[in-house]
Chains A and B, each alone.
Chain A
Amino acid sequence: MIYQDPKIAAIAETLKARLPELEVKAEILKAVELRALFDAIPLLPTDQRAAYGKELNQLRGELQRSVAEYESQADALPGIDVTAPFDCNVPLDGHPAMLPSEYGSKHPLMAELEYVLDIFYRMGFTAVESREIDDDYHMFSALNFPEGHPARDDYDTFMTVETDKNGRQYIAPAHTSTMQNRVLRKYKPDLENGKPIAVVIPGRVFRNEDLDARHEHTFYQLEGVYVGKGIHAGNLIATLKTFLQEYYQKELDVKTQPFYFPFTEPSFEFALSCPFCDKRGCNICSYSGWIELLGCGMIHPNVLRAAGIDPEVFTGFAWGGGIERLVMMKYGIEDIRHFESAKLDFLRQFS
């Protein structure tokens, strides 16, 4: 590593040279020279402290890694022949074997996603996964969220220290809609060839909130986008209803509540009649007979325009909903935190 600050650079050289000679390598981290560098921070002009402090932390990190490296080598096991199929002197019955298949499991969220995707494939949708780091443009601007719009507050987004070329912080997407602009652009040529755009977008999304049994900062959504000629709000409701009836393998009632999203107009919250009690009332639907499942709406003309699609000619709809909810209701999972816990107690129930 090259250090810009001459003092740090000099002491880095000194300390790195001293390290091989030390009996106890960790002592390098307590070196008086290093301490002196830290002590100098408060004496620096305010505007230089950040850069200096960062370099100094990098130096400490580098030294820590070197110490760890030495310590690892000290109690390292002997080398092995990595090209061999098994270890030396191992009897035939001790050759490496895989675990019995009865232990194995797909993650229940991923298994559910496969099932959901299968239905949408059959309905004529294609699929693409969402991103996990994105820019402000795709997360907000391309979706008709003006700068500083209060609707941005509804998404407690994680931001990075690092910024894009416009100096905007990168964002951990809070919804799979962050892919809408890309998908619309990618499949726009289909529209011109008389085919609709029909894509579902599964992916990981992030909300900067505290964890509890019902809230995760990391979860999965499935977005859907459909654009074509003469597509109307009735098509939207029918498409979602058809999917849900196929998913639950039964007739369902659906209803919409008006909602607000900047990227759809009109916007809805979409509810289905409880498939577990057929509207008689149960603990899954909180005895309301209905389950609110997703947000949806007709794609806002500005969103189509942002992707170069003429909203005079084409209209479309989009929706987004969580996967965890479906799985939790299906199996009666009591705590959303189990999903990313990697607990075998949980996972092997899905073997």
Chain B
Amino acid sequence: MKASLRWMQWYAKDSAALQAPIDEMANKIGAQLGAIEGIENLGEKYQGIIIAKIVSLVDHPDADRLHVVMIDDGGVAQQVERDADRHIQVVCGAQNLYVGMLVPWLPPGAVVPESIGKEPFVLEARELRGVKSNGMLASARELALGSDHSGIVEIDADAKPGDDFAKIYELDDYIIDIENKMFTHRPDLFGQLGVAREISGIYRQAFKSPEWYQLRPQFPQPTAEKLPCEVRNELPELVPRFTALVMGNITVKPSPLWMQTHLLRVGVRPISNIVDLTNYYMLLTGQPLHAYDYDKVKALSGETPTLIVRYPHQGEKIVLLNGKTIEPRPEAIMIATDKQAIGIGGVMGGAETEVDDNTKNIILECATFDMYSVRRTSMTHGLFTDAVTRFNKGQSPLQNLAVLAKVAEDVSRFADGKAAGTVYDDNEIGDRQWVHPPVPVTTSFVNERLGLTLNADKMKQLLEAVEFDVTVNGEVLTVTAPFWRTDIEQREDVVEEIGRLYGFDHLPLVLPLRVIAPTRKDSLLELKRTIRAQLAKSGANEVLTYSFVHGNLLDKVGQDKSHAFQISNAISPDLQYYRLSLTPSLLEKVHANIKAGYDKFVFFEMGRVHYKGEVDAAEPEVPNEDDHLSLVIAAADKTARTQAGAPYYAAKKYLLRLLPDADAYLAPLKGFDFKDDEWGRQLCMPYDPNRSAVIVWNDLTWGIVGEFKSSVVKALKLPVHTAGFEVGLEMLRHAPHKTYRPLPRFPKVDQDICFKVSAEMPYRTLHDFVAQKIAALQPEQSMVSLSPVDIYQRSDDQMHKQITLRVSIANYERTLTDEEVAKLLDEVAAAAKGTLHAERV
């Protein structure tokens, strides 16, 4: 929202607030109204431009289209060449000059306003075809006051030669741009008047709205020939108020220069007096208006010129003011004659009833359109106008008549118009003074929420400065918001208003008190912290990758997209699906890092996965979310040659540090029966069944560890030495506490035992058998540990492999002898031979 300081000062002449230094005011606006996006110093742009009078005008001796002009600058310009009459010579090519005309003169040294912000063009005295020109006379375009370059701007104000152009048109101005978002609930602040009032308020000075801005204004008596117009509002729910007035005898011409500069300084292009007036009062009050060419409406109507507010007819199209033809959404608010649509209410008018240079009669519309409907229509058709910006904040329906009456008055002043009928108003507001009823609130309610101790009178004073009506009865204030305020519905709104006007920077900064009972840390966050620390300590790098993936990635790893939540509106094609698991995202990041020169690395991520159809256990109305940990280990091909053995075992090593190994076990993926666990199946899709294992715990599938399918390796350009795992964090919560065994005082005995077993026999089978046997046969009060030493396959015997285990055994009560342990192992070996056909070697 751009607010012009000069414009606002018109409405706060008595208030010192708006005379405050701009820097101070900016700080105050920032602290009490809303963030400032920027301040433009307009005065700088129009510095040094002098109003001059043309005293003579002759053709250039040497150029067809140029004139040699003598101007009177009232003698104010310094260091400029003058003739005997103290006049100054300027060469100019414009064709609209005449003797006696007042023009803006840019003397040598002045900067052309149009060039500011681009490449500043500084004027000088120089010869044009042999004739000296001291500076230049300026067109509207050169003054950055519009696009017109057909002639020199004519000064239409009460001014004399030598006057400062910027002062006369009040262009010695600051444009304060305040963030719109702050005003989402303040439609009144989309007008200069509202911002002026608010600035007064935060300076704690009383603001008085202009006389004409009132609930029940006077309308001019119809003095022109009566022009009939029938108005029918068929959508009172969406258009709570529709007011209109027909005016005749209109002369369409450019509006006065001051008005044009007002529009331009806040970014609106002047068009003609009628259109400019509707825009001017919109910019002033926040209330958009529309002017229709009465005769065009008449031509498009049946017997009587008609305005109807209705929904679009099936298939109905409309040509808009911007030249585009659209078929409005079925719930759009249309303005129509009895024969066809002529505008979209609150969004944009139609081209067919546009006011143009030949317009003689007009219909002024000042209506209130439903903010939600306007917003939806605007979004559906991509129509973003100043009217939409204001209507979609919900303008007060109580200001329509005031604005309409004022515009009618000015149409008389600036376009010779006369009322050609009485005002149409479909909303009898009766005695109502407010949008929301008065709010009773106690001083303690306000003070408790602000931490203040203001008394009732102080609160009343703050509110009255911005024209609230406040009655005080003891400690109870009854607060009636002025008719343009739509946001004061409940006591908290009054609290905000008082706090803001008082200044939130004056609130007492005290911390809340609490009992010293310790707060509980979140167990999931703590688990993640533990895992993060553990893995980082193990040389792994924590990564974060997007929660959404491209459908191609799911295809590449063989996951079925139909199980994934699909994003319907992503602007990036990379974000199509919620991921089913984390592993694919990590694999996608391997290749780039190998290329970047990293030989060997380990990635891990803890993140969420989603699977369509599963709902949250505690909250069935939302989808289930599972926290997973995924880890990927990769080595570049040149490094991989030096890595002994399958990468699976490296991934497994990382995994086993985290698993509750007492109960969890690893089952080969090949042939694993997922039963109806489709999610488990999808999770394991990227993994190679021959070289992966499912993590099973409490009869449930919790994850997968392994290498990747050759199709995945190819599709994601993975090095051969890549493996990883993914596991549900819920299981890792149950990692057992570390257990401690007291240290035996007696020495331990280490002995290796080696078995030759079938190549097919899982290591685990032998290991567990040996562990159980030792447990059964070991002397009482012993502490035993069993660890792998070697797994060996002879090149000439692929049918078998040899597994060497180391048994460490110590006793708490005595020294064990080597013989005793050897005998124990002999018994274990005999049992292994009987049960597992394992040969001791």
Within 8 A of B (CB), among A193-222: 195-196, 198, 202, 204, 206, 208-211, 217-218
User: Does B555 touch A at the CB level, under 8 Å?
Assistant: yes
* A257 and B31 form a contact (CB under 8 A): yes
1/0 contact string of A159-178 vs chain B (CB within 8 Å): 11110110001101000000
Choice from A109, A137, A257 contacting B30 with Cβ under 8 Å: A257
A83 sits at the interface (CB 8 A): yes
Q: How far is the CA of A104 from the CA of B32 in the complex (A)?
A: 48
- Complex contact B710–A121 (CB within 8 A): no
CB-CB contacts of A117-140 with B at 8 A, as 1s and 0s? 100010011111101111101100
Are the CB atoms of A343 and B762 closer together than 8 Å?
Answer: no
Q: Is the CB of B537 within 8 A of A104?
A: yes
Interface check B466, CB cutoff 8 A: no
Known: A61-B562, A260-B181, A301-B490. A158 touches B30 (CB 8 A): no
Interface string of B582-620 (1 = CB under 8 A from A): 000010010011001010111100001010100000010
Interface-facing stretch out of A16-24, A36-44, A142-150, A277-285: A142-150
**A180 neighbours in B (Cβ, 8 Å):** none
Are B522 and A150 in contact, CB atoms less than 8 angstroms apart?
no
Q: Do most interface residues of chain A lie in helix, strand or loop, or is the interface mixed? A: mixed
Q: Is the CB of A87 within 8 A of B567?
A: no
The one of B542, B569, B710 in contact with A159, judged by C-beta atoms closer than 8 angstroms, is B569
User: Is B476 at the interface (CB under 8 A from chain A)?
Assistant: no
Chain B interface residues toward A at CB < 8 A? 30-35, 181-186, 371-372, 375-376, 379, 392-393, 448-451, 490, 492-493, 495-496, 499-500, 504-505, 507-512, 514-515, 517, 519-522, 524-525, 528-529, 532-533, 535-548, 555, 558, 560-562, 565-572, 575, 578, 586, 589, 592-593, 596, 598, 600-603, 608, 610, 612, 619, 621-623, 625, 643-646, 648-650, 652-654, 666-670, 688, 690-693, 705-707, 709-712, 762-765, 767, 788-793, 801
Determine if A121 and B561 form an interchain contact, defined as CB atoms under 8 angstroms apart: no
Total count of chain A residues near the partner, CB < 8 A: 130
A12 to chain B, nearest CB (A): 15
A301 to B495 Cα, complex, angstroms: 12
**Of all chain A residues, which has the CB nearest B554?**
A61
Given A99-B540, A133-B565, 17 more A-B residue pairs with CB atoms under 8 Å apart are A62-B560, A78-B690, A79-B690, A85-B649, A158-B570, A164-B622, A165-B621, A170-B623, A182-B619, A206-B547, A238-B509, A258-B31, A266-B504, A298-B495, A315-B448, A342-B586, A344-B596
A133 touching B504, Cβ below 8 Å? no
Return chain A residues, CB-CB under 8 Å to B801: 88
Contact call A72/B688, Cβ cutoff below 8 A:
yes
Confirm or deny: A348 has a beta carbon within 8 angstroms of a beta carbon on chain B: yes
Instruction: Note all chain A residues with C-beta closer than 8 A to B184.
Output: 150-151, 260, 262
Closest to A216 in B: B546
CA gap between A246 and B735 in the complex, in Å: 34
CA distance A238 to B232 in the complex (A): 56
Q: Which of B32, B567, B572 contacts A210 (CB 8 A)?
A: B572
Find out whether the CB atom of B621 lies under 8 angstroms from the CB atom of A342: no
CB-defined contacts of B645 to chain A, threshold 8 Å: 86-88, 90, 94, 96
Residues in A whose Cβ lies below 8 Å from that of B592:
342-343
Is A77 in contact with chain B by the CB < 8 A criterion?
A: yes
Q: A77-B691, A127-B525, A344-B601 are in contact. Are A89 and B392 (CB under 8 A)?
A: no
A interface residues (Cβ-Cβ under 8 A, vs B): 58, 61-62, 64-65, 68-69, 71-72, 75-92, 94-107, 109-110, 114, 117, 121, 124-129, 131-135, 137-138, 146-151, 153-154, 158-162, 164-165, 169-170, 172, 182, 195-196, 198, 202, 204, 206, 208-211, 217-218, 226, 228, 230-235, 237-239, 241-242, 255-260, 262, 265-266, 268-269, 292, 298, 300-301, 311, 315, 339-345, 347-348, 351
Closest Cβ of chain B to A210, distance in Å, is 6
Query: Given the complex of chains A and B, what is the CA–CA distance between A258 and B600 in angstroms?
Result: 52
Do A131 and B622 touch across chains, with their CB atoms under 8 A apart? Answer: yes
For the complex, give the distance between the alpha carbons of A133 and B780 in Å: 57
List, in ascending order, chain B residues with CB within 8 A of A85's CB.
649, 652-653, 763, 788
Chain B residues with Cβ below 8 Å from A169 are: 568
Of all chain B residues, which has the CB nearest A206? B547
What's the nearest-Cβ distance from chain B to residue A341, in Å?
A: 8
CB distance from B445 to the nearest CB of A (A): 9
User: Is A102 touching B539 in the complex (CB atoms < 8 A)?
Assistant: yes
Among A65, A78, A100, which residue has the most Cβ atoms of chain B within 10 A?
A65
Establish whether residues A162 and B31, one from each chain, have CB atoms under 8 Å apart when the complex forms.
no
Q: Are the C-beta atoms of B646 and A342 separated by less than 8 Å?
A: no
Q: Give the residues in chain B near A104, CB-CB below 8 Å.
A: 535-541
Asked whether A134 lies within 8 Å of B653 as measured between CB atoms, the reply is no
Alpha-carbon distance between A147 and B375 when the two chains are bound, in angstroms:
11
Q: Is the CB–CB distance between B558 and A68 below 8 Å?
A: yes
| A83-B762, A133-B610, A158-B570 known; A234 vs B450 contact (CB < 8 Å) | yes
Given that A158-B569, A344-B541 are known contacts, is A126 also in contact with B521, CB under 8 Å in the complex? yes
